[in-house]
Amino acid sequence: MGNRPLKFRILEIYLDEKEHWNYEIVSKIQEEYDMKGDYHRDSINFDIIELASGGMLKDIEQKVDEEGIYKKGFLLHKYVITDFGKVRGSDACLRYV
Amino acid sequence: MDLKALKKQESKRKISKGYMWALFCAVFWGIWYLPGTVVWVLNPFDEMYGAVAETNGDAVSLVVTAVLITAFNALTVMLALMVWNGVLQKFGELGRTLKEFHPCSKWFFLASIFGGPVAILGSFMAMGFIGGAFAAVAALLYPVVGSVLAYYWYGEKITKRAAIGIVVIIIGGITIFGGGLITELGAGEVPWIGYLGGLMAAAGWGIEGAIAGKGLDISEPDVGLTLRFLGENIIWWIIIVPILAIVGFPMYSFAIQAFEPLTLLVLIFAGITFGFCYVSWYKSFPLIGVGRGQGIGNLYGLCAIIFIFLFFGDVPQWTILLGGALCVAGSFIMFTEEAGELETLRGE
């Protein structure tokens, strides 16, 4: 089970510098931290939104969730880490990797 | 629905939620000055003030009493935030974040030094000696301190627009402080400690914001703010209150007397309003941006004046009204520069 703060872990995942969809990250975190249910799903997604608004992730692509893989009829977002995110992320995470 | 319409709908939802949180912040923050002012005339604090004043003089007594009030404020804020974290099921995250001392939680403890013994203590001193409206409006100067600090510390640029805002806020500040001072100099008695408290509130909150931001951007704000108040409780209840007791002030005998219904009720009211104004402030930032969040949050100055008028019937001096209006206007000028850019607030 995950033992680091959620945003540390999210940044850590994005530090691979690849693009990830929010639903991939949310379900990965839900599994790692054993956080089931819609409430935790939305709460983890809000963490991603906060990281993006703090300039650490960048929202690069959106698509409509037609099949309901995350939330049917809502937008899905794809993010990539920014330079600032890399700095903050490696301050916080890299010592442990 | 197509992509474009959904995008529009999502951003609309984000913005209206963000404004709602920011307004909550302003209202809660403004209301806080009611219990903050009332608590001074309640037992045991008014008795304590009288008792300490007899032996150590008014000035020392005011500060010592303000310390005990601020310590209780920190305690009830902590209680309110623990309930909040319980409801949001964030105790696990609280523990995980606390353990990350070096990259994260040390910033909250550092921030609590400036938030508690400087800003909140200063606010209570200003409320006790001058009044709630002055305390509220004087603290509106905090963005000036914050942005000057960010300039020297992070090398963050101060844009032309922000500079204009800062000048307007400073003119507002001069009006607030100067207006009161001139009247009181004429009367021959100036409550210097109250004015010092007002300056402490502005400086303390400006510094707190700049420091806490370092930890808050990589943690959940609900959790981060709770740790910041954990730090403040440690400072008051484990360091300052015992030291004052050892020096000889009757801290514990009066602290125990605070556990009477009316006083507790007022203190809990202060804790809830203060705790939630912090929480809702930070909730608004990712939704509408730090700038707009702070700009609207600063309407608390106006809210405080309105609530104090409604509940106490006090109309503040015209200089406080004018200065407060200038400060609110200045913070809007300062903070609304990133209009149109809602998704990313920094970098890029």
Q: What is the DSSP string of B209-249?
A: HHHHHHHHTTS-HHHHHHHHHHHHHIIIIIIIHHHHHHHT-
Q: Per the domain annotation, does A1 fall within a domain?
A: no
Domain extent, residue A71, equals 6-96
B86 or B343, greater pLDDT: B86
> Confidence class of residue B176 from pLDDT cuts 50, 70 and 90?
confident
Q: Per the domain annotation, does A55 fall within a domain?
A: yes
| CA B21/CA B15 separation, integer angstroms | 10
Q: What is the pLDDT of residue B95?
A: 93
CATH of residue A56: 1.10.10
Which of B100, B341, B344 is most worth mutating to test chain A (most A CB atoms within 10 A of its CB)? B344
CB atoms A46 and B286 under 8 Å: yes
Q: Per the domain annotation, does B14 fall within a domain?
A: no
Q: Per the domain annotation, does A66 fall within a domain?
A: yes
Contact A21, A82 (CB under 8 A): no
| CA A10/CA A12 separation, integer angstroms | 5
Q: What is the pLDDT of residue B342?
A: 42
By Cβ distance, the residue of A7, A8, A75 closest to B6 is A75
Q: How many CB pairs under 8 A join A and B?
A: 89
Task: State whether residue A80 sits within 8 Å of chain B by CB.
Answer: no
Q: What phi and psi, each to the nearest 5 degrees, are found at residue A78?
A: -110, 130
Q: What is the pLDDT of residue B338?
A: 53
CB atoms A75 and B7 under 8 Å: yes
Q: Tell me if ipTM is over 0.85.
A: yes
| CA A41/CA B98 separation, integer angstroms | 23
- pLDDT of residue B340 exceeding 80, the answer is no
Q: Which residue of A has its CA nearest to B8?
A: A75
Query: Looking at beta carbons, which residues of chain B come within 8 Å of A70?
Result: none
Strands, E, within chain A: which ranges?
A: 20-21, 57-64, 75-81
Domain extent, residue B115, equals 35-338
Read off the pLDDT of residues B183-202 as tens digits, 9 standing for 90 and up: 777 777 778 888 899 999 99
Read off the pLDDT of residues B238-286 as tens digits, 9 standing for 90 and up: 999 999 999 989 999 999 999 989 999 999 999 999 999 989 988 887 7
| CA B39/CA B128 separation, integer angstroms | 9
Q: Per the domain annotation, does B61 fall within a domain?
A: yes
What average pLDDT does this structure show over B39-60?
91
- pLDDT of residue B327 exceeding 60, the answer is yes
**Average pLDDT score, chain B:** 86
What average pLDDT does this structure show over B301-318?
86
Give the bridge partners for B157, in sequence order.
Answer: none
Contacts of B146 (CB under 8 A, 6+ apart): B205, B206, B207, B209, B210
Task: State whether residue B97 sits within 8 Å of chain A by CB.
Answer: yes
Tally of domains in chain B = 1
Tally of domains in chain A = 1
CB atoms A88 and B219 under 8 Å: no
